[in-house]
Amino acid sequence: MRQDHSANPESTEAGDDGHEEHVLYHDPWLCVTGEALLVLADELFAAIPPPPITPGRKPRADAVERRKVCIRNLLANLVVFTLSPLQHGALAVSLRKAKRSRYDGREFDARLLSSSLRGLEFIGLVEAVPGVTHKTLTTLMPTPKLRVLLDARGVSLGDIATAPGRETILLRTKPANGKPAELLDYVDTAETLGMRAGMVEMNRVLREADIRFDGVRLPPFHAVRIFHEDFSKHGRVYRMPWVNMERAHRHRLTIDGEQLADLDFSSMFLRLAYAWQGAPPPDDDTDLYEVEGLEGYRDAVKKMASKLFSRELKGAIRLPAGLKQALPDGWTMARFVEAFGHRHQAIVPLFGSAVALRFMRTESDIGMEVVKRLASQGVVALLIHDGCMVKQRHKTQAVAVMREVSREKLGRTLPVREKSLLSE
C-alpha cells in the first residue's frame, strides 16, 4: 500500500475545520487491554507473513514487538469502528511521513502502519482504498470475517483503551487557501502546563463517567484543546463524540442512565464582542441575533457575524461564499452591515478585525472553568464550546455555575438558556 500525503488528521478537527462526522479517523494511541482481544491480536499477527529479511538472520526482537503493537492498534481501531454505537462510514488512516514531535510517541511509523494494513488485508480482515496524494486518506472497511471473530471471542469496547502520554494541548497553523493546518512544536510555559493539567483532569472525569449512546458505553476518546498560531487564539476543545454529533442525536446520550439537559450561553459570541468593546448589550432578555428585516434568518445572521468577526480585512463589499443564498433576495453586504448596526452599533467596528479566534479562546476558558467547577461539586459536564450537557437534575446547579464563571471572567453575567434535545 503506497504512502499517501494527505492531511494529518491530528491537525484538523470536525465542525470548524472540515472533518466529516461519519468518518472515523485512525487513532494511533488506541491499545488492546482485554485478554480475549490480546489473544486474538497475537493469533492474527502470527497469521500475517513477516517482512523478508537477509537469509540466515533472525528477526530483531524490537522490530517484532513494534509490529505487534501496530497490529494491536489497528485491531483496536477496527473494534471501535465495528462495535461503536456511533455509526461511521469508513475508517480513514493517514500514511503520511512526518517528522517526530511532541505529538508523537507511539512505537510505529507510517511505513510500518502501511505494511501492517497490507497484512490485515492479506488475511482477509479489511478492504482498503488507497488515498490520493494531497487529496484523500487511505480508507478501510472491515470484512464480515472480522465481526465473526469478534463475536466468537466475546470482544467488547471495554477491551480497548487509550495509551498514556498523549498530548492534550495542540498548537497549529491556521488553515488557509485550501491548505490543511500543520501542527507546530512549542516550548512549555506555566500557561501550557496549567492548561494541560486541566485537560488531563477533564479526561479523567469523562473516562470514569458512565456516558452512553443508546444505552451502549462510548468507545475510548481523548479530548484536546486546539490553538491557532499562538495560545491567544482559538483553544476550543475537540475529540469528544458529542461535539460534532448532529443535534438531533444528542438526546440519545445519557450519564449514569439519566437524561441530559443541554445548556448554553445565549448569543455568546455577540456578548463577547460587547465585553471586548466595554459596552453593554442592547437587551439581556432577547436573542441578540434577531435583526430587523431578517426575522426567521437567525442561522444566517449568526454565520454572517461570525464570518465578519473572523475576516482580517475591513470594508468587505461582497457576501461571504455560501451565505448569499442563506439571506433573502436583494440583501447585500452593505445592507446586512447597516441592518446589523442598527441594533449592534457598538460592535460593528470589530468586523474585519479577526477577533473571532480570540473570542473562542475566552469562550473556551469559560467552558473549561465551568467543567472544572462542576466536577469539584460531583457533577459531570459534557462541554460543547459555548455550553455543556449535564443530568437533568443538575440543571439548576450548572446554570448557577455558568453564570458565576462568566461574571468572574468577563465582569458581567451572561444569560444561560436550555435548548431542546428532542429530535426534530
For residue 381, pLDDT over 80 is answered with yes
Q: Give the model confidence (pLDDT) of 239-286 as tens digits.
A: 999 998 988 999 999 999 999 999 999 999 999 999 999 999 987 677
Domain ranges of the chain: 1-163
Q: State the pLDDT confidence band at 18, using cuts at 50, 70 and 90.
A: very low
How far, CA to CA in Å, does 37 sit from each of 48, 123, 149, 151, 406?
Answer: 17, 17, 10, 11, 46
Q: Give the model confidence (pLDDT) of 74-115 as tens digits.
A: 999 999 999 999 988 889 998 887 777 888 866 778 889 999
The answer to whether residues 174 and 181 touch, using CB atoms and an 8 Å cutoff, is yes
Q: State the pLDDT confidence band at 14, using cuts at 50, 70 and 90.
A: very low
For residue 376, pLDDT over 90 is answered with yes
Beta-carbon neighbour count of residue 395 at 10 Å?
17
Q: What is the mean pLDDT of the chain?
A: 90
- pLDDT given for residue 2 in this prediction: 47
For residue 20, pLDDT over 70 is answered with no
Alpha-carbon gap, residue 175 to 73, rounded angstroms: 29
Q: Give the model confidence (pLDDT) of 22-64 as tens digits.
A: 789 999 999 999 999 999 999 999 999 988 876 767 778 888 9
Sheet holding 138-142, edge to edge: 23-25, 90-93, 138-142, 126-129
How far, CA to CA in Å, does 324 sit from each of 277, 327, 343, 352?
Answer: 28, 6, 21, 18
Alpha-carbon gap, residue 202 to 219, rounded angstroms: 16
How far, CA to CA in Å, does 419 sit from each of 247, 248, 295?
Answer: 10, 12, 20
All residues at 6 or more sequence positions from 391 whose CB lies less than 8 Å from its CB, including other chains: 255, 256, 258, 259, 260, 261, 379, 380
- pLDDT given for residue 131 in this prediction: 87
Relative orientation angle of helices 356-376 and 190-208, to the nearest 10 degrees: 50
Three-state secondary-structure class, residue 375: helix
The pTM of the full predicted model, rounded to 2 decimals, is: 0.89
For residue 357, pLDDT over 90 is answered with yes
How far, CA to CA in Å, does 168 sit from each of 21, 102, 178, 203, 223?
Answer: 21, 10, 26, 9, 7
The answer to whether residues 251 and 214 touch, using CB atoms and an 8 Å cutoff, is no
For residue 9, pLDDT over 60 is answered with no
Q: Count Cβ neighbours within 10 Å for each residue of 38-67 and write b for 16 or more, e otherwise.
A: eebbeebbeebeeeeeeeeeeeeeeeeebb
Relative orientation angle of helices 333-343 and 298-310, to the nearest 10 degrees: 100
The CATH class that applies to domain 1-163 reads: mainly alpha
Three-state secondary-structure class, residue 414: coil
In degrees and rounded to multiples of 5, residue 173 shows phi and psi of: -70, 165
Single-letter amino acid, residue 20: E
Three-state secondary-structure class, residue 389: strand
User: What mean pLDDT is predicted for residues 164-179?
Assistant: 85
Instruction: For residue 399, give the C-alpha cell.
Output: 446554570
Instruction: For residue 283, give the C-alpha cell.
Output: 437587551
The answer to whether residues 271 and 288 touch, using CB atoms and an 8 Å cutoff, is yes
User: What mean pLDDT is predicted for residues 349-359?
Assistant: 94
Q: Give the model confidence (pLDDT) of 392-424 as tens digits.
A: 999 999 999 999 999 999 999 999 999 988 754
Beta-carbon neighbour count of residue 180 at 10 Å?
17
